[in-house]
Amino acid sequence: MTSDVTEKNILSSAPIGWLMLKYAIPSVIALVVNALYNIVDQIFIGWGVGTLGNSATNVIFPLNMVMMALALLIGDGGAAYLSLELGRGNKDKASKGVNNTFSWLIVVAILFFIVCFVFLKPLTALFGATPDNLEYALTYGRIILFGFPFAMVGCGFCSLIRADGTPQLTMIAMVVGCVSNIILDALFVLRFGWGMEGAAIATVIGQILNFVISMWYIPRFKTIKINISEMKPKFSLLKRISGLGISSFVSQIAVAVVMTVINYYLVHCGAKSEYGSDIPLAAFGIVMKFNTILTSIVTGIGTGSQPIVGYNYGSGDYGRVKNLSVLRQVLPRLSDCFSS
């Protein structure tokens, strides 16, 4: 029995609750660990640099959210395309979609890096940089930008890996990148005293490790094959893929917009208070990092259910799609696990 038939049988016939545990739990763990890493990262910067360091990272954070939005626009869209076409039995279309998703991730990642590198200073001003934290933000941003292409391709490709039926690898890639980042933060920021540069370098190394683990999976795809001959970017496929990933894009962009607006008011209103602009900026950045813990749980369940929904919708089993109620299926299975 071939691997694609095996996966077909699993997604079309296995109990929904079991599938949700298989796909959603690794996604939730990966995103929660990433949220915790962001919090610990802020702690090390606070210890090693201070309030200005924390406020500077909050200035760069919306840029990171835009990067993630683009990665999910293409990555989640490509994953949904893969699931739908496999459900319909169109393996050739699924293969072309995945290969084009990979190539478009690379193209958009390079273009985004160039734009950010050229316009970094005005972008930091847009996102709330103050005269006091501007140099910290530029120092951090100039280094962190070199990790953006790796992070964008790695994040988008993880969506494809999850849809291919190996959600555990996406969890491993995220956890390895985050844990290494935390360890290197302690080493570079506190031990070596490299400040913002050290924090940025640690983040880039973590993103590269995530990328390397994701790329290791390329020859190991179970349902399709990555083929250079099919990687020529096609706008027709990009339009289809982007349409499927637009919801993920909007959810991330919305956070970036909200942070930009709030940063603007914190800078201008904070300047008139006894605290100044940077303390409110730093405090808001820390609060947003804690907020990601809650959102990561919901997002993890959603991304984990995507391959199940996509495959069964593509195969026309709409009743199975309707039965995919997260609270009704996941929570009882979790309670059974704890009670046993």
**Of residues 239 and 311, more confidently modeled:** 239
AA identity, residue 170 = T
- Give the pLDDT of residue 97: 94
pLDDT greater than 90 at residue 146: yes
What are phi and psi for residue 274, nearest 5 degrees?
-75, -15
Among candidate residues 267, 271, 196, the one with its CA nearest the CA of residue 41 = 196
pLDDT band at 118 (very low <50, low <70, confident <90, very high): very high
pLDDT greater than 90 at residue 300: no
The pLDDT tens digits for 8-54 are 457 777 888 788 888 888 888 888 887 777 777 788 888 889 989 99
- The Cα 255–Cα 66 span in angstroms is 9
- Give the pLDDT of residue 320: 79
pLDDT band at 325 (very low <50, low <70, confident <90, very high): low
User: Residue for token digits 């796909």?
Assistant: 23
The pLDDT tens digits for 60-109 are 989 998 999 999 999 999 999 999 999 998 999 999 999 999 999 999 99
- The Cα 174–Cα 207 span in angstroms is 9
- Give the pLDDT of residue 326: 47
- Give the pLDDT of residue 112: 97
- The Cα 53–Cα 135 span in angstroms is 10
Percent share of the chain, pLDDT over 70: 92
8 Å CB contact between 281 and 263: yes
- The Cα 19–Cα 238 span in angstroms is 29
Mean pLDDT, all residues of the chain: 86
CB neighbour burial string for 47-58, b if at least 16 within 10 angstroms, e if fewer: ebbebbbbbbbb
Token pair, residue 157, equals: 């490709």
Mean per-residue pLDDT, 156-170: 92
Mean per-residue pLDDT, 250-266: 89
What's the angle, vertex CA 283, arms to CA 278 and CA 288, rounded to 5?
Answer: 125
Percent share of the chain, pLDDT over 90: 46
pLDDT band at 255 (very low <50, low <70, confident <90, very high): confident
Mean per-residue pLDDT, 195-199: 93
Calculate the dihedral angle through the C-alpha atoms of 107, 149, 56, 30, rounding to the nearest 10 degrees: 120
- The Cα 263–Cα 259 span in angstroms is 6
Q: 263: burial class by Cβ within 10 Å (0-12, 13-18, 19+)?
A: buried
- Give the pLDDT of residue 9: 54
Token pair, residue 108, equals: 């958009």
Taking the model in full, what pTM does it have?
Answer: 0.87
**Of residues 71 and 274, more confidently modeled:** 71
- The DSSP code for 272 is T
- The Cα 117–Cα 12 span in angstroms is 46
- The Cα 340–Cα 324 span in angstroms is 24
Q: How far is CA 17 from CA 33, 144, 304, 310, 332, in A?
A: 23, 40, 12, 16, 8
